[in-house]
Amino acid sequence: DAKTTQPTSMDCAEGRAANLPCNHSTISGNEYVYWYRQIHSQGPQYIIHGLKNNETNEMASLIITEDRKSSTLILPHATLRDTAVYYCIADRYGNKLVFGAGTILRVKS
Amino acid sequence: NAGVTQTPKFQVLKTGQSMTLQCAQDMNHEYMSWYRQDPGMGLRLIHYSVGAGITDQGEVPNGYNVSRSTTEDFPLRLLSAAPSQTSVYFCASSYSFGGNQPQHFGDGTRLSIL
């Protein structure tokens, strides 16, 4: 599985868009990019995943660069409840996930 | 619809004791797995199962045993607890192995071994 690199932490103002970057320069053609988050030591929560096209659901948008070496998770209107650790994972099947340290997102009022 | 249910939520053990962490899901998911999370770190895969009667090892399987006799349940057994097994344990499930299905996680079991 490809290794991913994320910033250690980020701050975002409440109501503004939160843009969380992820680098996965060694990703292979059949590996998807998955995003999960973990709120205050709860179990991780699935957010979104994609292969090469941009994806959007009710929680977030995922923008993947054309060369697939990086991606950005966008929370369009961050709230205090979005404060969490966000994990970017590259995996072919989405089952045996390898979690790194993730990005701590702090949403501030 | 309860999703993934883990019991107990908290447990304290003495070194050498054994115990079973329970995990049950009511979504008819074929794939189930166990992770552990140590302070300040990401989750690491312990064991997984692609269906009833089939289990396999993950990244950190030593000291743990699993079985899968039904689709719904996937218990994790600590055979002889050690302080190094103090951690938070998460169970997860998904519709199948492969197919890029979202993983559903339980709320975790916080285990301390003295």
Chain B interface includes A81 (CB < 8 A): no
pLDDT over threshold 70, residue A40: yes
Question: Are B27 and B104 a contacting pair, CB within 8 Å?
Answer: yes
- Residue A43 and residue B90: Cβ atoms within 8 Å? yes
Name the nearest CA neighbour of A88 among A42, A32, A13, A11.
Answer: A32
Distance of CA B38 to the CA centre of its chain: 14
Residue A80's φ and ψ, nearest 5 degrees, are -60, -30
Interface test with A, best of B6, B90, B100, B107 (most A CBs within 10 A): B100
Tokens for B105, please give them.
Answer: 């996680």
Query: What pLDDT does B1 receive?
Result: 60
Task: Give the E-state strand segments of B1-114 in sequence order.
Answer: 4-7, 10-13, 19-25, 31-37, 43-51, 54-57, 64-66, 76-78, 87-94, 104-105, 109-113
Overall average pLDDT of the B79-92 stretch: 96
Nearest chain A CA: its distance from B107 CA (Å)? 5
Interface test with B, best of A96, A98, A103, A104 (most B CBs within 10 A): A96
Name the nearest CA neighbour of B13 among B68, B89, B66, B103.
Answer: B89
Chain B interface includes A8 (CB < 8 A): no
pLDDT, tens digit, for every residue of B12-45?
999 999 999 999 999 999 999 999 999 888 899 9
Strand-pairing partners, residue A49, are A34
